[in-house]
A and B are shown apart, each in its own frame.
Chain A
Amino acid sequence: MARQADSNSLRLSGGVFTLTVLRLQSLDPDPLEQQWQEQSAALGILQGAPVVIDLADCKEQEISQELPKIIQILRQRGCTPVGIRNATPAQQAAADQLGLAQLRGMESSPQSMKKNHQRPELTPASPPLEHPLRSGQRHYARGQDLICLATVNAGAEVLADGHIHIYGPLRGRALAGVQGDETAQIFCQRLEAELIAIAGIYQTLDPQHPLWGRAARIFLDGEQMAIMPLEK
């Protein structure tokens, strides 16, 4: 019996997924194979993971012959390539043949990404938050600094593209420079945070921290998070 087309057989919905990006330095399969064997323990986390192949460093190379081999190696190692990005048109054509999706976003090289990650154009800060931010509440100052006059309680979260100033105890989470601005800083009158982060580099805190309960300034010193007392 022919099945009637069921109007409920398909539902579209959206989702945001985190994928591992494998950035190939070369399209030669042999070094890949070799490196995989040498670092099998570290790369073991890719077992069963969907990965995206980033070809930003292989712009000059012809891929049509090599890509199928690379895909095969990845599959043998247990990961599932689902797409490519930063591909040249020729590379894209090869990927199409293999049924890999083209993924967009972050197409630039890391050097120019750094440039994008400089302090974005910030608009003047909104009026300060006057009331305590409570457990379960979250406040994001998009394209702005964030100023909070009251407490950020445990379980609450403040985020800003720029700096975060908290003129009360910080007991929850504070994430500054969430778009990647590494010059963003966090200032608080009393550091009792659950988590602090700047440009994606984060740290959890506990009461054993030497600056616990004190006024503090948090910033990035290279890749390291620095926590300094505010008072001299």
Chain B
Amino acid sequence: MAQTIVVTSGKGGVGKTTTSAAFASGLALRGHRTVVIDFDVGLRNLDLVMGCERRVVYDFINVIHGEARLQQALIRDRTLDNLYILPTSQTRDKEALSAEGVARVMAELQQEFDYIVCDSPAGIETGALRALYHADAAIVVTNPEVSSVRDSDRILGILAARSKRAEEGREPVQEHLLLTRYSPKRVQEGEMLSLEDVKELLRVPLLGVIPESPVILQASNQGIPAIHMKGSDVAQAYEDTVARFLGEERPLRFVQQEKSSFFKRLFGG
């Protein structure tokens, strides 16, 4: 049986799609058969971030409506053989995600994969509810600022009440906090909530901290999941995140402000 993971946040623009792409790639890099699904019907970003936008013929909605077979809609990743992308439609809206249709597709994917990563749209409407419904685990992507924390809190409440696990009275969805766009310098200057603040407010186990970095933008513009940006802090942070998810112990990195070296200070580097 595959494990289903929803990447969600409530608030938009916090890094859900970036995280979905990097996290799914990270699982695949470690040898797990993984599929990542775009639930953001009508906006369709995941295929861009994964760099497969020109290979989309059939999509998730076609499969839900029986207009295509699942195998026709799944796109194999450019670099990883065991990673597939199920893109969504740009021309439909979220009402096209029927509960029965999604359940049928999920059941079929369960047979084929080890991990199903669901990239949720922002908000708390149909799209987001469908994305989280089947989840076994949730990665709640949060930026270190008050409104993002508030929305994450809201989505955690919905996860506890409206997921399939909650409805069936099973063990609750496993909750993970992923803090993204974290800048220790700005925390120190009091412009951002600190890691401790966010943990204290949300009280969810921390899965990782992804530093604020221009590399993210470069990666998504090139259609490369950030975890492939070799040597960057972002790639390392996502690798750590995947490792922790799989049960490894990894120390937190990139949460302290880097001391500039003696020479840098001397020469104004």
Sort chain A's interface into a size bin. 10 to 19
**Hey, what's the 0/1 contact readout for B156-180 against A, CB within 8 Å counting as 1?**
1110110000000000000000000
In the docked arrangement, what's the CA distance between A11 and B7, Å? 42
Sort chain B's interface into a size bin. 10 to 19
**Hey, what's the 0/1 contact readout for A61-102 against B, CB within 8 Å counting as 1?**
000000000000000000000000000000000000000000
Q: Is the CB of B203 within 8 A of A136?
A: no
- Min Cβ gap A140→B in Å is 15
Give chain B residues whose Cβ lies under 8 Å from the Cβ of A151: 203
In the docked arrangement, what's the CA distance between A156 and B202, Å? 13
Q: Is the CB of B203 within 8 A of A137?
A: no
Give chain B residues whose Cβ lies under 8 Å from the Cβ of A150: 203
Give chain A residues whose Cβ lies under 8 Å from the Cβ of B201: 153
- Min Cβ gap A183→B in Å is 31
Mostly helix, strand, loop or mixed at chain B's interface?
Answer: helix
Give chain A residues whose Cβ lies under 8 Å from the Cβ of B203: 132, 150-151
Give chain B residues whose Cβ lies under 8 Å from the Cβ of A156: 157
- Min Cβ gap A167→B in Å is 13
In the docked arrangement, what's the CA distance between A142 and B75, Å? 53
**Hey, what's the 0/1 contact readout for A113-143 against B, CB within 8 Å counting as 1?**
0000000000000000001111111000000
**Hey, what's the 0/1 contact readout for B122-159 against A, CB within 8 Å counting as 1?**
00000000000000000000000000001101101110
Q: What are the 4 A-B residue pairs with the smallest beta carbon separation, nearest first?
A: A134-B157, A135-B153, A135-B154, A137-B157
Give A contacts to B, CB under 8 Å.
131-137, 150-151, 153-156
Give B contacts to A, CB under 8 Å.
150-151, 153-154, 156-158, 160-161, 201-203
Q: 27 A-B contacts, Cβ less than 8 Å apart? A: A131-B160, A132-B156, A132-B202, A132-B203, A133-B157, A134-B153, A134-B154, A134-B156, A134-B160, A135-B150, A135-B151, A135-B153, A135-B154, A136-B154, A136-B157, A136-B158, A137-B161, A150-B203, A151-B203, A153-B153, A153-B201, A154-B150, A154-B153, A155-B150, A155-B153, A155-B154, A156-B157
